[in-house]
A and B are shown apart, each in its own frame.
Chain A
Amino acid sequence: MSSHASAVNPAGSVWEGGQSPYATNSKKFGMWLFLISDSLTFSAMLFAYTYSRVTNPDWPKPFDFSPAIIFSTVMTFCLLSSSLTMVLAVHSMNHGDRKATVRWILATMVGGGAFVVLHMSEWLKLINVEHVTPLNNPWGVPLFGGTFFALTGLHMTHVICGLIYLAIIATGVGRGKFKAEDVEVSGLYWHFVDLVWMFIFPLVYLMSARVG
């Protein structure tokens, strides 16, 4: 009886159907579903890293506090700040200010770009100076290279994809295309990339810090 009433009355219970149960648009919901499945991928890789580390008591600690940890702290700062500028981009777009939105998205891309450049130089140092490759390293624990490069490589791929995504959104917004929800969905993706780094940074870098 009540279900019949709610079909007529749009203000009825969400569980009785006939209206959007999440009160969100389909793009945003689609992005959320993708992010949840993606976080399972990253969880599995972080777990693989942790598992390998616990099974190998002689796991290397290749990150000197200075410069590697300071370096990765600056990278974390870049990513966190780019998240703030992305929030401000979404905020501007919600208030209809397209110029400010483009500026904030560009600021976000600068943060993300700085992260990629710093991360690349970190990788090059590990490969060229410390001679770590995905299959081998001087400390005799080949799993370190495999798990480290797989995990940080997948994350860096996400950052680079995010930069391309943001560039497309910024160009479109500047030309008067896209709605506020499109900027918000790209923001969700960007914050997710930041969020994943919040786990990689302590588990991979800080747990392997070498002081002195």
Chain B
Amino acid sequence: MSSHAEEAVHAGASISTFTKVWIALLAMTGIEVLLAYEQVPTMIMLTVLLGLSIIKAALIIAYFMHLKFEKLSLFLTLFPMLIFCVVLMLIFLGDAVRIPNMRPPA
């Protein structure tokens, strides 16, 4: 057990890598805020925002949460299930799009 812990200690990223990741995260946040200021059309806005958020989440998980330096088996145990469940939730979004058209006119 202790030998595993030591392996994990030595297989991390350096401070300069963490700083670069932090700068990248701040830059992506800046782009997001700029998009909001420019009032980009909703669908483009939503796509870009979600894309950037997923990249940011991946950076945080990989570097800050150290998952890039863990065993692949840990990633495979945790994330495919999470992604699958989130995608399952999205199935209902089609209903949300239809509901406004199904309301009787006021």
Contacts and interface: CB of A to CB of B under 8 A. Distances in A.
Given A25-B1, A192-B65, A202 B73 contact: no
Contacts of B12: 91, 94
Contacts of B85: 40, 43
B93 A51 contact: yes
A24 B71 CA distance: 9
Contacts of A81: 22
Contact of B49 (A32, A65, A192, A206): A206
Interface residues of B, number: 55
Majority secondary structure, A binding face: helix
Majority secondary structure, B binding face: helix
Given A84-B18, A188-B65, A43 B33 contact: no
A77 B26 contact: yes
A83 B60 contact: yes
B25 A73 contact: no
B49 A87 contact: no
Contacts of A23: 4, 7-8, 70-71, 74
Given A32-B74, A32-B78, A88-B18, A198 B60 contact: yes
Interface of A: 14, 20-25, 29, 32-33, 36, 39-40, 43-44, 47, 50-52, 54-57, 65, 69, 73, 76-77, 80-81, 83-84, 86-88, 91, 94, 180-181, 184, 187-188, 191-192, 194-195, 198-199, 201-203, 205-207, 209, 211
20 contacts: A22-B73, A23-B70, A24-B70, A25-B4, A29-B74, A40-B85, A40-B86, A43-B89, A47-B90, A50-B93, A84-B22, A87-B18, A91-B12, A91-B18, A195-B65, A198-B57, A202-B52, A206-B45, A207-B36, A209-B37
Interface of B: 1, 4-5, 7-9, 12, 15, 18-19, 22, 25-26, 29, 32-33, 35-37, 39, 42, 45-46, 49-50, 52-53, 56-57, 60-61, 63-66, 70-71, 73-74, 77-79, 81-82, 85-86, 89-90, 92-93, 95-97, 99-100
Given A24-B71, A207-B49, 15 more contacts: A36-B78, A40-B86, A47-B90, A47-B93, A54-B93, A54-B97, A69-B33, A73-B33, A87-B18, A88-B18, A91-B12, A188-B66, A191-B60, A203-B50, A207-B36
